[in-house]
Structure 1
């Protein structure tokens, strides 16, 4: 999975209000994009990817909506890679890989377990001004 994110030929960006309906819309948009890009919904990576998107958007709605009225979801794909990010304007940057060892059930712990189980990567990227972040997930296809 050496594909650079910038080189992925398929991209879609979705901006939503930071409210509970964003989870469903982000998931449905992911499904539509994958079909348009020729990635079958029965591909073994798709269900875990949809769950990861749902969990990340849920976290932004629950924890960032107070300071981030909008959430942006970026979807990207190439022949051997699926990538997506959830961005909000809350400055807190979670320790992603620490979530696996925490007693947390669901949320980021689930996300990281799924990512690792699929031999993917997860990274938090801070906004240049430090006032927000994106959580990027990359999964092999």
Structure 2
């Protein structure tokens, strides 16, 4: 697994945990990728934007009451992009259990995991030291 702290490029975005956060996080991701010199038509870009949108949407839907702000942390190296979505809600979802699509279609985390694993990426939930929040980190190869 990539050590996020060791990646040379870092960017942090903190937004209110409201529906407009999804659009702002997506636009910021596009800007970050442009700064990195990533071709917007690279096959990883579309799925990365969808993954990020799903994670921020989940924070808005499920964590807003406990987490007035959501933070998106971007880290990148020459061959990978990593991003984490952090909120202050204590629930830590089981990402790999979400990879199983249930009857009625895929949920947000199932979509996240299907795309992440399909691209050869990784996903991990990291709890805050105080147990009152978490970050979901995604790493995707470029």
> Same-fold call, TM > 0.5?
yes
Are the counterparts in 1 of residues 99 and 113 from structure 2 also a CA contact under 8 Å? Answer: yes
Q: 1:92: which partner in 2?
A: 91
Aligned residues: 140
Q: Distance in 2 between matches of 1:121 and 1:72?
A: 19
Q: Deviations over 1:98-141 (max 9, x none)?
A: 01215152300000000110010000000000000000000110
Q: Distance in 2 between matches of 1:111 and 1:3?
A: 18
Q: 1:46: which partner in 2?
A: 45
Q: Distance in 2 between matches of 1:119 and 1:137?
A: 11
Consecutive unaligned residues of structure 2, counting only runs of 5 or more, are none
TM-score of the pair, normalised by structure 2: 0.95
Where does structure 1 differ by over 4 angstroms across 4 or more consecutive aligned residues?
none
Please give the secondary structure, in 2, of the residue aligned with 1:124. strand
Consecutive unaligned residues of structure 1, counting only runs of 5 or more, are none
Q: 1:140: which partner in 2?
A: 141
Q: 1:77: which partner in 2?
A: 76
Query: How do residues 52-67 of structure 1 correspond to structure 2 at under 5 angstroms?
Result: 52-67=51-66
Query: Larger deviation: 75-84 or 99-108?
Result: 99-108
